[in-house]
Amino acid sequence: MTVQKVAIHTLGCKVNQLESSFFLEVLTEAGYTIAGRGEAPDLTIVHSCAVTSRASFETRQLLRRARRANPAGPVVAVGCDVHVELHRMTSEALATHILGNGEKLDILQWLGEPGTFQMPCVAVTPPRSLRGLREIRVHRMALGRSRAVLKIQDGCDAFCTYCIVPHTRGCSRSLPGPAIRSQLDRYLSQGFHEVVLSGIHLGQWGRDLGPANSLASLLRRLKVGRLPGRLRLSSLEPLEWTEELLRELRAIPEICPHFHIPLQSGDDDVLKAMGRPYGARLYRDLIQSLRQAFPDSALGADVLVGFPGESPSRFENTLHLLQEIPVTYLHVFPFSPRPGTPAFSLKDRIDGSTLKARCAALRDLSVRKRQAFAASFTGRILEVLVEKHEAGTPLWRGTTPNYLKIDFHGPRDLTPGEKVRVRPLDITPGGLRGEMVHGRSGG
């Protein structure tokens, strides 16, 4: 069987997207080609997600569609939903190859090179016994050479009562410091100006290493060597903001003032039932102190709406908290009962229309907060990392350190990855619009 053209469908989180870019890279290096738009692939990979029942449903839909389009061809299911729906995937023959989170990074080994393509297989290591984190090489999450993501941690030990992730990605594993340093140096030599340190539960980085280590000490060691112009962190849980970490963050000018801190609920009883080890007060104090320490920072929160037992007054507690504190955007998720988690069997579920209305109220608040935050920067001069030229327009698009997206007029010969200075003039639905000033500010 000659298998050449590959299509990859990715569901779920940024870490999944990052890992898919790794698949893309190893497969193209081995001689596969990527199926173009409208081109029928010989091989389809579905990088699945299990975080909600909707994500599982979409995974099955994509697999079925690929099987129908190419009944004799290989269809590969990889990732989190494999661990939740393995029985269904095999009994309904939804895929020819099924690879768990422990196997997927060796995808080429399991599939074989184009001329030596391997027969169907099922290989799913239970998440509890996953091997150490594998270093992942080059990933570009943006066009050109502007931003790269470095996955330094995988898995989670927290077992929040609603979350399937520890059951699919296994316990927390950390990429050791020297491997992080060498990957960072590789990105620098490839010309990336921004690197995002990312993980499933980033704040648990280092706990599993011998001797145990912490994110604060990792940053301390990294700053001794060369850093990219911008170093961004993915999300950190409320209790992981230690004094020591704050000190390190303040001491590194390259750190982007953009922090994402999951809240999930602003009601103490709901937080307790979720197994989240903090209360609303601690969250409020944390956000206030981050606002003081980093006055221009973007501060984001995840909110999980409609957890069983979230009465109207408990939801109001969440809404009021978020109205009052200076977070600048929200990621709002409706509760989705996942089999195998303690919350699956909780009674007192919230009905569908109430759930929808609560999500809408929070999303509306998020839009207003985003716009107010963006508007507070109009007229100022901002440092912008150029990402791409907006096709069919005279505009460029770039990002500020605090992750404001800005469209701006600039010369045609700008290049992605270049830093320029831009004055925002007004807000747009996606961020800001402005004009370039004072020429370039260098890499």
Q: What is the 3-state secondary structure (H, E, C) of 386-407?
A: EEEECCCCCEEEEECCCCCEEE
What minimum distance in Å lies between the beta carbon of 157 and ligand SF4?
Answer: 8
Residue 101 DSSP symbol: T
The count of other CB atoms within 10 Å of the CB of residue 145 is: 17
**Least spacing, CB of residue 200 vs ligand SF4, in Å:** 6
156/273 with CB nearer ligand SF4: 156
Residue nearest to ligand SF4 (CB): 163
10 Å CB burial of residue 9 (0-12, 13-18, 19+) is: middle
C-beta closer to ligand SF4: residue 165 or 327: 165
Backbone angles phi, psi at 255, to 5 degrees: -65, 130
**CA-closest candidate to residue 79, choices 53, 105, 117:** 105
Least separation in angstroms between residue 14's CB and ligand SF4 is: 13
Q: Which residues of the shown chain bind ligand SF4 in the complex (CB under 6 A)?
A: 156, 158-160, 163, 165-166, 200-201
**Least Cβ distance, residue 235 to ligand SF4 (angstroms):** 8
CB of 169 to ligand SF4, least distance (A): 8
**Identity at 358, one-letter amino acid code:** R
CB of 278 to ligand SF4, least distance (A): 12
Residue 202 or 427 with smaller CB distance to ligand SF4 = 202
Q: What is the DSSP string of 260-311?
A: E---B-S-HHHHHHHT-S--HHHHHHHHHHHHHHSTT-EEEEEEEE--TT--
- Of residues 107 and 343, the one with the C-beta less far from ligand SF4: 343
Q: How many CB atoms lie under 10 A from the CB of residue 75?
A: 26
Distances (CA, A) of 3 to 35, 38, 90, 304: 11, 17, 22, 42
Q: What backbone torsions phi and psi does residue 421 show, to the nearest 5 degrees?
A: -110, 130
Nearest residue (CB) to ligand SF4, 117 versus 344: 344
Rg, Å, the chain Cα set: 22
Does residue 28 sit in helix, strand or coil? helix
Among 189, 192, 185, which residue's Cα sits nearest to residue 147? 192
SS (H, E, C) 78-89: EEHHHHHHHHHH
Beta bridge partners of 407: 397, 433
Unique residue bearing structure tokens 């898995």: 155
Choice between 107 and 196, CB closer to ligand SF4: 196
Q: Which is nearer to ligand SF4, 63 or 165 (CB)?
A: 165
The smaller minimum CB distance to ligand SF4, of residues 160 and 256, is found at 160
Min CB(360)–ligand SF4 separation in Å: 23
Structure-token match 């080429």, residue found: 108
The residue among 97 and 201 lying less far from ligand SF4, judged by its C-beta, is: 201
Smallest distance from ligand SF4 to CB 164, Å: 8
Pure H helices in 175-227: 177-189, 215-222
For the bound state, the minimum distance from the C-beta of residue 277 to ligand SF4, rounded and expressed in Å, comes to 10
